Amino acid sequence: MRVDVFDPEMCCSTGLCGPAPDQALIRIEEVLERLREEDVEVSRHQLSRDPQAFLRNDKVYQKILSQGTGALPMAAVDGELLCTERYPTYEELREALQITT
């Protein structure tokens, strides 16, 4: 089970620095931490810091080619795109990962 998050460009790897971090970034970091605690492999990627990750996933690469970086953020579960232009919720990721309570 693997989740890859493809972030828009940020000042740091999580975007949580600075005086007023975006609440969506705080929420997705909390979601990803919960998944890590459930033994899900989680990775975050930024185009300038990890361009190969964008090339390795053909669906992400094609979406960037067709829509540009405006399609970010994106999330993929086991290589399949789950959402674009937003971060997924914890519930969406659990459902896509087929994690049951």
Q: pLDDT, tens digit, for every residue of 18-67? A: 556 678 998 999 999 999 999 999 999 999 899 999 999 999 999 999 99
Residues 6+ apart with CB under 8 A from 57: 4, 6, 76, 79
36 HSE (CA, 13 A, CB side): 10
Determine the pLDDT at residue 22: 77
pLDDT in tens, 64-91: 999 999 999 999 999 999 999 999 999 9
CATH number for 69:
3.40.30.10
pLDDT in tens, 3-24: 999 999 866 555 555 556 678 9
Q: What domain range is 9 assigned to?
A: 2-97
Find all residues with CB under 8 Å of 12, minimum gap 6, and list them: none
- Model confidence at 100, pLDDT cuts 50, 70, 90, reads low
With beta carbons less than 8 A apart as the criterion, state whether 50 and 40 touch.
no
Q: Are 77 and 35 in contact (CB under 8 A)?
A: no
Distance CA 65, CA 93 (A): 25
Number of domains in the chain: 1
Q: Do residues 31 and 5 lie in contact, with contact meaning Cβ atoms separated by under 8 Å?
A: no
